[in-house]
Amino acid sequence: MSPPLDEEGPRGGGGGVAAGGRAGTPDVGIVARMSTRAALPSRARVVVIGGGVIGTSIAYHLAHAGETDVVLLERDRLTSGTTWHAAGLMTCFGSFSETSTRLRLYSRDLYGRLEAETGQATGFRAVGLVEAAADADRLEEYRRVATFQRRLGLEVDEVSPAEMAALFPLARTDDLAGGFHVPGDGRVNPVDLTMSLAKGARALGVRVVEGVRVEGVRTRPRGLVEEVTGVDTDRGAIECEVVVNAAGMWARELAGRNGVVVPNQAAEHYYLVTEPVDGMSPDAPVFEDPAAYGYYREEGGGMMVGLFEPEAAAWKVDGIPPDFSFGTIAPDTDRVGPFLEKAMARIPALDGVGIRTFFCGPESFTPDLAPAVGEAPGVHGYFVCAGLNSVGILSAGGLGRIVAHWVVAGRPDVDVTGIDVARFRDWQLRPEHRRARTAEVLGTVYAAHTPGVQLASSRGVLRSPVHDATVAAGAYLRDVSGWDAPAWYAGPGERPKAEPTWGRAPWAAHWEAEHRAVREAAGLFDMSFMTKLAVRGPDALRVLDRLSAGDLGRDGRITYTPWLGADGGVDADLTVTRLAADDLLVVASDTAHGRVLGMLRRGVGEARATVTDVTEEVALLSLQGPASRAVLRDVAPDTDWSGEAFAFRDARRVRVAGAEVLAVRITYVGELGWELYVPAGQATAVWDALLAAGAEHGLRPAGLAALGSLRLEKGYRDHGHDLDNTDDVRSAGLGFAVALDKPGGFVGREATLAAREQGAPTHRIVSVVVRDPEPMLWHGEVLLRDGVPVGDVRSGSYGWTLGGAVGLAGVEHPEGVTAAWLAEGGWEVDVAGRRYPAAVSLRPPYDPTSARVRG
């Protein structure tokens, strides 16, 4: 359920000072009293690297999950990296991610009860959170977020500027559009919390050893991947089966020694603490005003003012010094001064109050502001939990539980598609990308997350072979995993422009024209960013048949199939084109690149098969629409394109514009169509020939906006958006793509069979169409059945054919989600606090019998 908006949304909770400690320094007395320089064991099943709040939480949760043969190694003392200077905010508001919301709620609950278990205080105080919305866009966003998170159990109320002033009297609120109050949120002492987690872990048998620097992780070959065998430290080696890299801002360099991509990068993060302020109570809520770049809370009678400035700076791009402990960074007052002034202006009472501490310390950020979590795709037993984007304290409890469960059970029990470490690519490790993206992405932490907002750094790293042709056609480009892909076209010679909006943008006229062209004539999509993997060798078919839940059929055919985990969860959905038993092509989405490549390489094992990534060598041009056959007849008259000769799902090599092309009759928009796989060097010639021949047939280039609206009208799924690893094939609506009786079975077959015996799924993916033509669906809008919230939109768009917003949503019913239960209810969608009638169905709203696809 990865959202199209920022994974975390508006938040605070990063750099700052540990609540209750002396501003600007750790409470080294506590750290010293809790330190342990135990003897280094020669073996353990699990080694956790890193003694910050994340590492100790993972160790604590491993022990509670029954895995006590664990050693936690800290290079210096617990908390010495970034934990010691964290602000200690424990806030849950602001995320469109169910995983993020639930892990924060779990963290908040854990911090409130941990002292009773360990005897070590955490400093948690539920003083509440007040989140300010400075303008209409932020108010719209927060209303949507609040509705989404209320369904998940977060208590949050919209409050007026006057009510905000009553909750936090020191802030000026008369110029704000509104705000939101979360009474259960609050603050925690990061050092105390870490020590409590470590104490709880030790009590259950975990060994915590400080003063040990891990120099590398040992592995050995296991087919096309590696497996962990131990760690090397400056005090000797430890044999182990599992390593968890929780090394914070050092995680990238440590992971890189084993080819694991963790592109987190440290950046400067600022806060100040004032002298005592009249009226500043320890019971005052945390106050956040993202538009002013600041978060505010009580600190020692004064006020902490934390900053997420819009123009930030990466720190130590070439590598973090290994001996950096309890360290600070010299502040760049010229750069941050204007932003700090704006943040201070939100609190008139600070005028004339002295500053006790002005602090700058490092925080670690990833390119997409989501953490790097999970098992590395290329190394069995190598887990990562790093890149917490200044929300490590409030995430630590939940992430510790998730990682521990993953290690012990072998599978995550929550949706991890948005945080899986496998999503990252090698190029994101380059210093120039880390420097530019980190400076920009930190600056967006407190930015509005209006649909259409794009990052400017690290654009066009990967380039489609027809890039120049799409630009000449007036493409408005959108970043897609490092590719610049057309979102829509303004027309030849035009300079496309777009402003972010929650409503219908002016460029929607272009989008609608492209959508209707595909439905009524034909559209040409550049899909070259799709992951394309060639699997060859004597055992290639056997490997893919085992991974694929679908029947791969015969030579010259394409199969849409899910790939499942042993528990039946959908880990990927993709196509496999069987050219021959020893020559197959796997095509998946751009975001699934690392995950699918890793699953393939692991699946090969000792089999005689190779996996080659041909993504950049082969262009993918998708010609779709009722006129697509006529266009192809014009450009390739020597091929019989009739339905009898070229059936749905057929794949064959043809010649188009002088190029040898793999033509596959398949669709992702619900129309007659073909995907054309073209050698990169010949792709522009094929693109031009198709557009020229298609002119008389109404063909026009089409972008990702139309692709999204077309596929949602047809109910076609997209893993990582509509589907995730917690869905099984029945709840996902993919039963048609599973061959339970195929010889040899497939990964996840037993779990899939068992699920069939349990009756109707208690949660399912459904199609949603809003009856009112005005509102837009994006992601996270809540569905109500007879006035009761039962689900939310996973992907949304506008259905130009249907005359209303359209989406795919997940809905839940403890007695089973059936067609009858859906039909008997009265359905509405909550859009920013307004409810609109909707139609909900298991069947796609457009062409449910797929007659047009097979035409």
228 has a pLDDT exceeding 50: yes
Helices assigned H by DSSP within 424-482: 431-443, 467-472
| Alpha carbon distance 837, 108 (integer Å) | 35
Q: Dump pLDDT digits (tens) for 257-305.
A: 999 999 999 999 999 999 999 999 999 999 999 999 999 999 999 999 9
Name the amino acid, one letter, at 360: C
Domains of the chain with CATH codes: 40-214+223-423 (3.50.50.60), 759-841 (2.40.30.110)
| Residue 37, pLDDT score | 60
Region 397-403: mean pLDDT is: 98
Global confidence as pTM: 0.94
| Three-class SS state of 69 | coil
31 has a pLDDT exceeding 80: no
Q: How far is CA 302 from the centre of its chain?
A: 37
Of 654 and 36, the one with more pLDDT: 654
Tokens of 824: 């008997």
| Residue 39, pLDDT score | 84
Region 608-613: mean pLDDT is: 98
Q: Dump pLDDT digits (tens) for 87-136.
A: 999 999 999 999 999 999 999 999 999 999 999 999 999 999 999 999 99
- State the CB neighbour count (10 A cutoff) for residue 499: 10
Q: Check the CA dihedral 706-709-710-712 and report its sign.
A: positive
- For residue 374, the cross-strand partners are 384
| Residue 23, pLDDT score | 35
Chain mean pLDDT for the chain: 95
Angle 361-362-363 (CA atoms, 0-180°, nearest 5)? 125
Tokens of 194: 């870490």
Q: How far is CA 720 from the centre of its chain?
A: 8
Q: How far is CA 135 from CA 162, 284, 500, 645, 828, in A?
A: 16, 24, 14, 59, 27
Of 29 and 468, the one with more pLDDT: 468
| Alpha carbon distance 643, 631 (integer Å) | 15
- State the CB neighbour count (10 A cutoff) for residue 363: 29
Q: Check the CA dihedral 748-750-756-759 and report its sign.
A: negative
User: What is the helix (H) or strand (E) element at residue 100, kind and residue range?
Assistant: helix 98-118
Could you tell me the pLDDT band of residue 15, with boundaries at 50, 70 and 90?
very low
18 has a pLDDT exceeding 60: no
- State the CB neighbour count (10 A cutoff) for residue 634: 15
| Residue 16, pLDDT score | 34
| Largest interatomic CA distance in the chain | 86
Q: How far is CA 3 from CA 442, 722, 729, in A?
A: 19, 9, 21
Q: Please return the burial class of 545, using the count of CB atoms within 10 Å of its CB with bins 0-12, 13-18 and 19+.
A: buried
Angle 626-627-632 (CA atoms, 0-180°, nearest 5)? 125
Strand order in the sheet with 583-588: 557-564, 570-580, 583-588, 531-536, 610-613
| Three-class SS state of 102 | helix
| Residue 855, pLDDT score | 84
User: What is the helix (H) or strand (E) element at residue 28, kind and residue range?
Assistant: helix 28-34
| Alpha carbon distance 517, 691 (integer Å) | 13
Pairing of strands 186-187, 178-182: unpaired
| Residue 35, pLDDT score | 46
Could you report how far apart the first and last alpha carbons of the chain are, in Å?
33
Q: Dump pLDDT digits (tens) for 793-848.
A: 999 999 999 999 999 999 999 999 999 999 999 999 999 999 999 999 999 999 99
| Alpha carbon distance 519, 671 (integer Å) | 7
Cα-based torsion angle of the residue sequence 224, 229, 231, 232 in order, rounded to the nearest 10 degrees:
-90
4 has a pLDDT exceeding 80: no
Of 24 and 539, the one with more pLDDT: 539
| Alpha carbon distance 564, 749 (integer Å) | 8
* Beta carbons of 77 and 416 less than 8 angstroms apart: no
8 has a pLDDT exceeding 90: no
| Alpha carbon distance 395, 13 (integer Å) | 10
| Alpha carbon distance 197, 181 (integer Å) | 29
Region 449-469: mean pLDDT is: 96
How many residues are recorded in the chain?
855
Number of H helices, E strands in the chain: 20, 39
| Alpha carbon distance 606, 338 (integer Å) | 60
| Alpha carbon distance 410, 57 (integer Å) | 18
Q: Please return the burial class of 503, using the count of CB atoms within 10 Å of its CB with bins 0-12, 13-18 and 19+.
A: exposed
- State the CB neighbour count (10 A cutoff) for residue 188: 33
196 has a pLDDT exceeding 70: yes
Q: Dump pLDDT digits (tens) for 635-650.
A: 999 999 999 999 999 9
22 has a pLDDT exceeding 60: no
